[in-house]
Structure 1
Amino acid sequence: MSITDTTTQPRTARVRTYAIQGLEVRDVQITVDVRPGLPSLTVLGLSDLAGRHLRERLQHAFSREGYRLPTRRTTIEISPSSVHKQDRTFDLAIAIALLIASGQAERGTIHRAAIVGALTDDGTLRHVPGTFAMAEQASHDDRQLISAADRPEELEGAGLDPVAIPRTLKETIEAFCGGYALLAPQGLPAPPEHPASSLDLADLYGKDQAIRAMQIAATGRFSLLLIGPVGCGKTLLARRMPGLLPPMSAQERREVRRIHSTHSAPLTLGRPLRVPHPATSLPVMVGGGEHTHVGELGLAHHGVLYLDDVVAVADDVLDRVFEVLAAGEHVVHRHGRTSRLPADALLLAGASPCGCGHKPHNCTCEPEDRDAYRQRLEQLAGRFDLVVAVPDITCEQVPITPPVTTRQASEDVQRAHARLARREHKPAARTQQVAEAIAALDGCDRPGPEHHQQAAALTAMSR
């Protein structure tokens, strides 16, 4: 393979790649034109600074791998022009197109490949956000995907077989010239039928009432507010909530992986849990923005969103959270395009009974501050389906009877789900819906007086 540019005729190379806009995968074509003229490298569609950084990365990577940039007038075009030029997303595709156009690489099977990956200065490859979604699109387009090898688990379950996962620029060239073995990615292990969480409810003594409320919330998909002093275990309970929900279906797992892949969030086998900071801004919480990014609500899709210290969350953010979760998606309109970001999550929140975080009899707040806080807490409590108090117990108050395990609680919820699914669903008031969920948990076909009594207690603060 020659590393010098000996051609005197104009040469053009086209390479296919993908870009992510929201959760949508857009087809992108990289066109490199090399023709006689003074040495130059022009990147259409990139700012001067981004173009300079790209040239520097290409120069370093080419030098380490035994290649060199074309010594003629070179133009790089990324089309369509409306696509967002994500940082480093097109590095590998541009590098391959440059090598083909300058005669340093053969075209091989590049016409049926989609190349995604970022390029480092030493020629090694790195994955880019949205690799799983791009892999799904490549499978749909019947293209061979060439992707970086540093996170092969991103490709598991995308429907690609086989797939090329080179580690370097040189191996990428060999991948479509027949000299590199195609591999099946080392995917994540299949989740068990009943996922066992490392966080168990059995570790939390004296929280039976709160755990019962969590089971009811998981059964009926009700929002739940936990009220208790600082250190009583609200966050510990919330972190165990995903384990109570039924296992995800194959379609739900694909949706979750697609969302987390576009955000470069860690892959998860179980249902996701997001715990954003109370000061999280509206764009970060719900997503959207100039380039349609996924927010905390989207990352909690098919899982749990826990708002700790919910009283400190801004009103406009909280209003939008309830609106988006009620709709199940966040619709974004940008530049004549509409993107739908799914956001079907179970909402949990935590709050202290007083602004100082202590119990009322240990309160250190000024009277006017205490009254203002409690008034706001009452207003917020009215927006949740269920409200339950979480006690702060001492060592002497720890009960002897061990609490229910997460596995046991989850099995109860799944049986209740199945029982509710067999019923004829009719419009009903919230208290009636809660009573039906409680009855299903208790193995009853219809709610009785005791179920209505429990439902009334849990919804007493709701509007």
Structure 2
Amino acid sequence: MVTRVATVAFQGIEAVPVDVQVQIAPGLPKFLVVGLPDKAVKESSERVRAALVASGLGLPPKRITINLAPADLPKEGSHYDLPIALGLMAAMGAIPQDGLDNFVVLGELGLDGRLAHVGGILNAAISAQGRDMGIICPKDSGPEAAWAGEAIDIVAADSLLALVNHLTGHQLQARPKPRRQNLDLAALPDLADIRGQLLARRALEVAAAGGHNLLMIGPPGAGKSMLAQRLPSILPPLLPRELLDVSMIQSVAGELVDGVLSDRRPFRAPHHSASMAALVGGGLRVKPGEVSLAHNGVLFLDELPEFQPSVLDSLRQPLESGETFIARANARITYPSRFQLIAAMNPCKCGLAGSPGHTCKRGAACADDYQSRVSGPFLDRIDIRIDVPAVSAADMIGPADNAEPSQIVAKRVAMARERQRHRYAEAGHPEITTNAAAGSTLIEKIVNPDAESQALLLQAADRFNLSARAYHRVLKVARTLADLAGVDKVGRPHIAEALGYRLNFGN
């Protein structure tokens, strides 16, 4: 007789159904796991054996075979412990088989029988709901699974023994409740802390309003990192659909702490020593990288030229398509990666090129060599480029300049984003919520510049040799500037300001 328990394998953020088949047959005592298991799955035999003993149940001295079907799908992770253990207990008659028939089971077992949290619970719960099934998981994972909806049946226990008591009807487990943390702008760094830098503050607001990529170039200590760190304080909270997408990625990556979902947009700031796999995803288990963890949020790259050129160029495709395609010998995975890139860099190696009173011994070649580490095609995907000049100590000692706080700027950004979301929904594209995400054909139709604006664009294209991508990105920024101003028609002043941001450091 074969006992079956349902679980899942993860391919990207998708939870693929897996059937755990347990057979206890006469023969020499052996515990065999088949079906392309990785090392963590193979080691489950020892964890399951110890957990059953700790729960007062020993394995029979027979040949035990665990088949993970489909057999040609790689199985990775420790979440197979619990379905294997429950399948064995059902095969031995310790728990009723029919109690497991309508559940997807995930969980890692400790040697003492306790259940530990595993990643991907939210994805598995959503998959289970789509199959009209419930989910059995560790207690710490219960609040995360509860986000799949009120209709799904959830059993979340802290130990194998507590789970057995529930399945046998001796002590039922309460249904967990979802936990949520709402965005608190007051807890974030405030824009009012920034002294001076009026152009940079304006550019940051425009970038936030339209979801545009931004590059800041300036000497050390000018405030580039401070500006980037305050971007989350002016971004609107995640929309419900965005919240679900972000949480599913975080769940697979194991970064949902205590199952708490937050409507705060992700802000990822990897060090410049990050590898290509760390940034775009990959590794042995093809995990999501920083670009996917920043989905619907911000990816901040400080000291941009210090990243390996090949690593930066690997961002070109997700910047354009909003998705990351990872192809390996054993897997082909797609992760959503619609992020907003904010980058900062010094103008040269010493960082003082262009500063008043500073003369570099190497001349202009120093800055040219340093900035050439960032390729032209990569820069072509950045909408806004600004110079962030140094702020002197005297400016810092003087009285504050009564800069606008983040709360006021955030209201303007929210209004501009609402205009964009409403516009694209009316145009039949509800999946597009920002101007930066609009396609080239759509943005041309939306902007439709007048004759005066077209003449300015043509003049700039001829003089600065704008690429087709640069032209469309200028239109997107101009549309955002009009949205911030609360006007429906994009005019010549909006085009001129957008070109100023684009042509600040070449085209």
Same fold by TM (over 0.5)?
yes
Report the residue type matching 1:242 in the other structure. P
Find 2:103's aligned residue among 103, 113, 123.
113
Residues 315 and 98 of structure 1, relative CA distance in 2, 3 Å threshold: same
* Matched residue, 1:5: none
C-alpha deviation, 1:155, in angstroms? 1.9
C-alpha deviation, 1:315, in angstroms? 2.7
* Aligned-partner SS, 1:416: helix
Distance 1:82 1:156 in 2: 31
* Matched residue, 1:324: 318
* Matched residue, 2:497: 454
Residues 16 and 328 of structure 1, relative CA distance in 2, 3 Å threshold: same
C-alpha deviation, 1:419, in angstroms? 4.1
Residues 360 and 69 of structure 1, relative CA distance in 2, 3 Å threshold: farther
Report the residue type matching 1:320 in the other structure. S
1:413 corresponds to 2:413: yes
Give the gaps of 5 or more residues in structure 1.
Answer: 1-10
C-alpha deviation, 1:438, in angstroms? 2.1
* Matched residue, 1:372: 369
Find 1:88's aligned residue among 58, 78, 93.
78
* Matched residue, 2:436: none
Residues 128 and 260 of structure 1, relative CA distance in 2, 3 Å threshold: same
1:176 corresponds to 2:167: yes
Residues 426 and 381 of structure 1, relative CA distance in 2, 3 Å threshold: same
| 8 Å contact from structure 2 (residues 347, 371) kept in 1 | yes
Residues 51 and 206 of structure 1, relative CA distance in 2, 3 Å threshold: closer
| 8 Å contact from structure 1 (residues 381, 387) kept in 2 | no
Give the percent of matched residue pairs that are identical in Structure 1 and Structure 2. 32
| 8 Å contact from structure 1 (residues 248, 271) kept in 2 | yes
* Aligned-partner SS, 1:215: helix
Find 2:201's aligned residue among 192, 211, 219.
211
C-alpha deviation, 1:258, in angstroms? 0.5
Q: Could you give the per-residue CA deviations for residues 238-276 of structure 1, whole angstroms, max 9, x where no partner exists?
A: 222233333221111111100110011245431111112
Distance 2:373 2:38 in 1: 51
| 8 Å contact from structure 2 (residues 35, 70) kept in 1 | no
Residues 337 and 328 of structure 1, relative CA distance in 2, 3 Å threshold: same
Distance 1:71 1:415 in 2: 69
Give the gaps of 5 or more residues in structure 2.
Answer: 425-444, 450-470
In the alignment of these two chains, the number of paired residues is 452
Higher helix share: 2
Distance 1:153 1:52 in 2: 29
Residues 80 and 48 of structure 1, relative CA distance in 2, 3 Å threshold: closer
* Matched residue, 2:296: 302
Report the residue type matching 1:441 in the other structure. L
Root mean square deviation, CA, Å: 2.8
Distance 1:75 1:57 in 2: 16
1:425 corresponds to 2:458: no
C-alpha deviation, 1:72, in angstroms? 1.4
Residues 356 and 69 of structure 1, relative CA distance in 2, 3 Å threshold: farther
* Aligned-partner SS, 2:315: helix
TM-score, normalised by the number of residues in structure 1: 0.88
C-alpha deviation, 1:108, in angstroms? 4.5
Greater CA drift, 114-123 or 65-74: 65-74
Report the residue type matching 1:440 in the other structure. D
* Matched residue, 1:97: 87
Residues 456 and 170 of structure 1, relative CA distance in 2, 3 Å threshold: same
Report the residue type matching 2:159 in the other structure. T
Alignment of 1:6-155 (within 5 A): 11-45=1-35, 53-155=43-145
Distance 2:22 2:374 in 1: 60
| 8 Å contact from structure 1 (residues 290, 334) kept in 2 | no
| 8 Å contact from structure 1 (residues 385, 462) kept in 2 | no
Residues 196 and 155 of structure 1, relative CA distance in 2, 3 Å threshold: farther
C-alpha deviation, 1:80, in angstroms? 1.1
Find 1:387's aligned residue among 375, 385, 388.
385
TM-score, normalised by the number of residues in structure 2: 0.81
| 8 Å contact from structure 1 (residues 381, 462) kept in 2 | no
Residues 280 and 255 of structure 1, relative CA distance in 2, 3 Å threshold: same
| 8 Å contact from structure 2 (residues 37, 75) kept in 1 | no
Residues 358 and 173 of structure 1, relative CA distance in 2, 3 Å threshold: farther
C-alpha deviation, 1:127, in angstroms? 1.7
Greater CA drift, 399-408 or 42-51: 42-51
* Matched residue, 1:344: 338
Distance 1:247 1:49 in 2: 40
Distance 2:59 2:375 in 1: 66
C-alpha deviation, 1:82, in angstroms? 2.5
